[in-house]
Amino acid sequence: MSKQYKNKKEAALTLQKFYSALEANRQPEEAPLDSDYKSKYNLLLKRFRELEKVFDFHRGIIQQISSGVITTDLNGSITFINRAAQDIFGYHYLDIQGQNISTLFAEPEQGTQFFKRVIKEGHQYQSKETYLITKDGELIPAGFSTSYYLNPENKEPEGVIFIFRNITVVNNLRRQLERMERLATLGEISAGIAHEIRNPLAGIKTSAQVLEESFSPGDFRSQLVSRIVKEIDRSNDLLKRFFNFAKPGRPKQEFQDIEMIIDGVYLLMAPRLKKRNITFHTDFSSEMPRLYIDGSQIEQVILNLFINAVEAMPEGGKIMINTKIVKEYVFEQGSQQAVVVEIADTGRGIPIDQQEKIFNPFFTTKSDGVGLGLSISTRLLEENGGKIEVDSAEGKGSSFRIYFPVIESDTSKIR
C-alpha cells in the first residue's frame, strides 16, 4: 500500500512542479487552456489529499493498535513490523526488515512449519499459542493469527499478515485460576474422604483405649494397643492437615507489617539455617504499606517457603528475601498496585516440567513429605487476596514471589 501511495505522491509532486513552471511562463491569452489544466490540477490535488488522509488513518490504526502486526512476503521475509511488535521484540524496523519470520519464534523450526502451513495449505491460524523470542533472547508466550495480504488488483496472495499478542498476563491469570480450581476440587474430595475416615478412626481409637484399660500397663498387649492408638493419632494428624488445606479457617484480616512477619519466621528458622550453613539476606523496601492479611496464615505461607528453601540447599547456600511495590499486578478483581515479597534460594532448583505441579496437593519430591505445603500456601494466599508465582533454574535456585493487593484505605506507612 505504501508503494502505491509513494507513486501517487511522486506523480502529484511532478504535476505540481509542472504546473508551477507553466504558471511562471503562462501567457494571458492562454487563459482557457490554463483554466482547464488548473481545474484538473486542483482535482488531482484534492484526490491526493483525500488519499493522504485515508493513508494516515490506516497507518495510525496499524501503528497504534496494541497487537503486534508483522507482514512478510511469500518467502517469509519480513516486509513490515508495527510499533507494538517493535516494542515486544525490541527490534527496530530497519533491524528486522528482510529477516525471516521464523527467527522470531522461540523454536524457528516451528515457525517455519507454521509458515509452510499458511502458504502451502492456505491455513489461517486463529489465536494459536506459541513462544516468541525477543532480541534479548527473552521468551514470550504469545497468541497469533494469520491472514493473507492480497494484491489489490489481481487479488492474489502477495504476503502474509501475522497479528499477535503477548499473553503472559493472560496465561498467568489462567494458570492461577486453573491451579485454584484444581485445588478446590481436590480439596473437597480429600476433605470428604478425610471426614469419612475420621469417623471409623474414632471408633477404633475408643475401642483400643477401652481395651487398653483392661490390661495392666506392663502387659505386652497393653503395649500393642498403645501402638495402635499412636498410629491412629498419626493418621488423624494427617487428616487434620487435609482439612487445613481443604478449608483454611476464615482469615482474620488486619493491617499487618509484612516485614515483621518475615523477621518472626527468620527467628524461628535461624537455628536450622545456621546448622545447614545457610545465610540469610534481606532487602526491604523503605516505603512499604501495611497489608490487610491474616498474620498467622501468611506467617504459615512464609514459613513453608522458608522450609522448602532450606530443604533445597542440603549443602548450604543463601536465602534472600526482598520486598517491593509494583504499580500493577493483575488480580482476579483487576489490575492494581501490589506488594511483592520474593523469597529466593540458591538451591537445586525445580525442573521446568515440575514448576506447575509443585502446587498440586500431594505432589512432593521429599522422601518424607506429604506434598501439601505449597497447595496449602496457595489456598491461604487465596483467602487473603494474594497470589504466588515461581521462577526456577535447575542447579541455580528458585524464587517464589507472593503478591498482595495494596489496600488504598491504609494510608499509614510504616516508615
Partner 1 sequence: MAKRLLIVDDEETLTFSLYQSFIRSPKDYEVVTAASGEEALERLSEKPFDLVVTDIFMPGISGIEVLEKIRKEYPRTEVIIMTAYGSQEHRENAMSKGAKYYIEKPFDMKEFKSLVIDLLG
Residues at the site binding partner 1, with contacts judged by CB under 8 A: 195, 198-207, 209-210, 213-214, 232-233, 236, 240, 243, 247, 249-250
> Quick one: 128 or 198, whose CB is closer to partner 1?
198
> Quick one: 62 or 204, whose CB is closer to partner 1?
204
> Quick one: 205 or 387, whose CB is closer to partner 1?
205
Instruction: Supply the minimum distance, in Å, between the C-beta of residue 249 and partner 1.
Output: 6
Instruction: Supply the minimum distance, in Å, between the C-beta of residue 243 and partner 1.
Output: 7
Instruction: Name the grid cell of 5.
Output: 501511495
> Quick one: 203 or 334, whose CB is closer to partner 1?
203
Instruction: Name the grid cell of 130.
Output: 506459541
Q: Which residue has the cell 488445606?
A: 245
For 18, which DSSP code? H
Q: Report how far apart, in Å, the C-alpha atoms of 125 and of each of 65, 85, 119, 128 are.
A: 19, 18, 12, 6
Instruction: Supply the minimum distance, in Å, between the C-beta of residue 207 and partner 1.
Output: 4
Residues 100, 92: Cα–Cα separation, whole Å: 15
Instruction: Supply the minimum distance, in Å, between the C-beta of residue 225 and partner 1.
Output: 12
Distance of CA 228 to the CA centre of its chain: 49
> Quick one: 145 or 244, whose CB is closer to partner 1?
244
Reduced to 3 states (helix: H, G, I; strand: E, B; else coil), residue 1 is: coil
Q: Where are the beta strands (DSSP E) in 177-307?
A: 254-256, 278-283, 291-293
Instruction: Supply the minimum distance, in Å, between the C-beta of residue 239 and partner 1.
Output: 9
Instruction: Supply the minimum distance, in Å, between the C-beta of residue 195 and partner 1.
Output: 5
CA proximity to 82, closest of 23, 2, 139: 2
Alpha-carbon torsion 70, 71, 77, 82, what sign? negative
Instruction: Supply the minimum distance, in Å, between the C-beta of residue 197 and partner 1.
Output: 8
Burial class (CB in 10 A: 0-12, 13-18, 19+), 154: exposed
Q: Which residue has the cell 509458515?
A: 115
> Quick one: 175 or 240, whose CB is closer to partner 1?
240
Report strand pairing: 334-345 vs 397-405: antiparallel
> Quick one: 59 or 198, whose CB is closer to partner 1?
198
> Quick one: 119 or 232, whose CB is closer to partner 1?
232
Cβ–Cβ under 8 Å, residues 252 and 294 = yes
Instruction: Supply the minimum distance, in Å, between the C-beta of residue 251 and partner 1.
Output: 12
Residues 69, 58: Cα–Cα separation, whole Å: 13
Residues 317, 396: Cα–Cα separation, whole Å: 11
